[in-house]
């Protein structure tokens, strides 16, 4: 080695210290000067007095941890992963990365099968029994979380018989049983499955209608646009084709958002492997990646490289955009909208927390305020409260509605009677709290810009 000290920034990287998570985030705690801005911005801490807040969950807990110390406090399961703390922090503490990692570790610790088997193999049947007994506490909750987190799988199954699934999922006695046995709240209606998926439509129309080696995007539709709101996916395709883009729809799985929020990092990683492989290939093919869901673009753009070390994952992150964001960057969207008009409609727009983190919280209002025939109003910067799977949990439902209260009130006060947002679960919450129909900005773009729509 040279005589000079060799500390260059490249050597600063999370490394394999904690067996279960392969991450040591203690150095991230260096950035925290305890100002507590994250705590004041946390929507869960505001309503849930038992929740110690993001500062404790993140930098404090990591700093107090020891290498051999795998215990993670169970309060981590109350974090809804809205990630507002990331945005609030004036000092770039990797809060959500710390939370996601801690949650992953917490869930990993709860897996008792392996430990029980090894205790059996060591000839300690009593210890094995104790491990199983302890592990059973919270087993149902874990199963419920796993099912909620793997929405991709349930939705895929449902897509074979969407109308039957719609009936069963919202059938009173079935919901009562789900609430009682699984802790899935019966207060909410499950979103309807569409009678065809986006991918079925895509295949039926024969794929891309425009070929253009110079302007290519790979569409990451995610689960919800595929199974529940294919109209958003279709709008996305038609708008981009209108601007002359060739749209690729690579094979893909869940972005991982609901899995991160439930600590299912193993599941998320498996899905990420498929996504990264196919999206990296699309980039190789000259495409940029565009998602219509702001949580999907958040996952690909931020959480992927923070949590996984896969070939090409940094590339995927660097090339990921949200649907409207990309067009605003690369096309004269305002010019096009200036010449367009739609039939009179008024919207109450809510910016999802994950859009806020990507700096996209004002784009819809800025874009549509000059569109002829449209009135759009921002309903404020509060969190909708559902945060994906959080608001679906029986024990979190009341908190979820309490967080959402401010948004509901502002929606009621806004002139528009139609809601608008980029995030599918925010849309569920907006609809649940107000009864409004909720649209996606891409649908309005389609209406304004695509002839015959």
Partner 1 sequence: MATETEALVIGGGSTGCGIARDLALRGVDTTLVERGNLTHGTTGRMHGLLHSGGRYAVSDQESAAECIAESRVLREIASHCVEMTGGLFVQLPADDDEYFEEKLAGCRDCDIPAEVISGEEAREIEPYLTRDVERAIRVPDGAIDPFRLCVANAADAEEHGARIETHAEVTDVLVEDDQVKGVEIRHESGPGKRSHHEPGTTERIEADHVVNATGAWAGELGAMAGVDVEVRPSKGVMTVMNTRQVDTVVNRCRPKGDADIIVPHETACILGTTDVEVEDPDDYPEEQWEVDMMIDTLSELVPILGEARTIRSFWGVRPLYEPPDTGTTDPTDITRQFFLLDHADRDSLAGMTSIVGGKLTTYRLMAEQITDHVCEKLGVEGSCRTAEQPLPGSEDFSVLRDYMEEFGLRSPIGRRSTERLGSKADEVLKTDDPNPVVCTCEAVTRAELDHAIADAGTDLNATRIRTRASMGNCQGGFCAHRIAALLHPEYDEATTRTALDELYEERWKGQRHALWGEQLSQAMLNHALHATTMNRDRYPAASDDGIEYDRFDAGPPTPEAAADGGRRDDAHERADSREDDHGD
Q: Which residues bind partner 1 (CB under 8 A)?
A: 1, 3, 5-9, 11-12, 15-17, 24, 26-27, 29-35, 52, 55-56, 60-69, 71-75, 91
CB of 357 vs partner 1, minimal distance in Å: 22
Judged by CB, which is closer to partner 1: 5, or 173?
5
Judged by CB, which is closer to partner 1: 1, or 204?
1
The closest of 429, 437, 445, 441 to 189, measured between CA atoms, is: 429
CB of 82 vs partner 1, minimal distance in Å: 21
CB of 102 vs partner 1, minimal distance in Å: 10
d(CA 345, CA 400): 29
Q: Is 216 helix (H, G, I), strand (E, B) or coil?
A: strand
Q: List Cα–Cα distances, 182 to 79, 145, 174, 192, 245, in angstroms.
A: 20, 9, 11, 20, 45
CB of 307 vs partner 1, minimal distance in Å: 18
CB of 30 vs partner 1, minimal distance in Å: 4
Judged by CB, which is closer to partner 1: 75, or 320?
75
Judged by CB, which is closer to partner 1: 62, or 408?
62
Judged by CB, which is closer to partner 1: 33, or 176?
33
The closest of 21, 29, 85 to 52, measured between CA atoms, is: 85
Q: Contact, 98 vs 25, CB < 8 A?
A: yes
CB of 399 vs partner 1, minimal distance in Å: 19
10 Å Cβ neighbour count for 243? Answer: 17
Q: Contact, 108 vs 147, CB < 8 A?
A: no
Judged by CB, which is closer to partner 1: 137, or 195?
137
10 Å Cβ neighbour count for 181? Answer: 11
Q: List Cα–Cα distances, 174 to 168, 194, 389, 403, in angstroms.
A: 7, 20, 19, 27
d(CA 348, CA 353): 16
d(CA 39, CA 31): 16
Judged by CB, which is closer to partner 1: 15, or 168?
15
CB of 91 vs partner 1, minimal distance in Å: 7
């Amino acid at each position: 080695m040279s005589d000079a000290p060799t500390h260059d920034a490249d050597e600063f990287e999370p490394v394999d210290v904690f067996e279960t998570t392969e991450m040591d985030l203690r150095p991230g705690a260096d950035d925290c000067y305890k100002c507590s801005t994250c705590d004041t911005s946390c929507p869960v801490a505001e309503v849930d007095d038992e929740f110690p807040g993001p500062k404790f969950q993140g930098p404090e807990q990591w700093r107090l941890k020891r290498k051999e110390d795998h215990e993670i406090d169970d309060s981590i399961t109350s974090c809804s992963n809205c990630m507002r703390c990331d945005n609030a922090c004036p000092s770039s503490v990797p809060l959500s990365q710390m939370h996601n990692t801690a949650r992953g570790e917490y869930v990993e610790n709860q897996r008792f099968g392996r430990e029980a088997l090894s205790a059996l193999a060591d000839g300690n049947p009593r210890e094995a029994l104790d491990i199983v007994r302890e592990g059973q506490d919270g087993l149902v909750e874990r199963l419920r979380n796993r099912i909620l987190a793997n929405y991709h799988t349930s939705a895929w199954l449902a897509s074979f018989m969407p109308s039957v699934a719609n009936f069963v999922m919202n059938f009173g006695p079935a919901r009562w049983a789900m609430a009682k046995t699984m802790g899935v709240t019966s207060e909410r209606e499950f979103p309807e499955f569409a009678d065809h998926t986006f991918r079925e439509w895509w295949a039926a129309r024969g794929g891309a209608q425009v070929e253009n080696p110079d302007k290519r995007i790979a569409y990451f539709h995610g689960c919800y646009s595929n199974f529940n709101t294919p109209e958003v996916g279709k709008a996305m395709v038609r708008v981009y084709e209108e601007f002359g883009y060739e749209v690729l729809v690579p094979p893909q799985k869940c972005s991982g958002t609901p899995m991160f929020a439930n600590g299912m990092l193993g599941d998320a990683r498996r899905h990420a492997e498929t996504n990264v492989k196919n999206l990296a290939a699309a980039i190789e093919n000259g495409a940029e990646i565009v998602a219509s869901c702001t949580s999907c673009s958040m996952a690909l753009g931020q959480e992927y490289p923070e949590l996984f070390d896969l070939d090409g994952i940094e590339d995927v992150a660097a090339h990921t955009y949200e649907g409207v964001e990309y067009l605003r960057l690369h096309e004269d969207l305002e010019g096009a909208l200036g010449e367009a008009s739609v039939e009179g409609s008024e919207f109450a727009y809510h910016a999802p927390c994950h859009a806020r983190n990507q700096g996209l919280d004002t784009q819809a209002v800025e874009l549509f305020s000059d569109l002829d025939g449209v009135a759009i109003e921002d309903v404020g910067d509060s969190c909708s409260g559902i945060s994906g799977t959080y608001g679906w949990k029986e024990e979190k439902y009341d908190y979820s509605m309490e967080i959402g209260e401010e948004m509901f009130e502002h929606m009621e006060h806004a002139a528009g009677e139609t809601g608008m947002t980029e995030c599918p679960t925010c849309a569920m919450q907006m609809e649940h709290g107000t009864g409004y129909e909720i649209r996606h900005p891409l649908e309005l773009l389609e209406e304004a810009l695509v002839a015959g729509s």
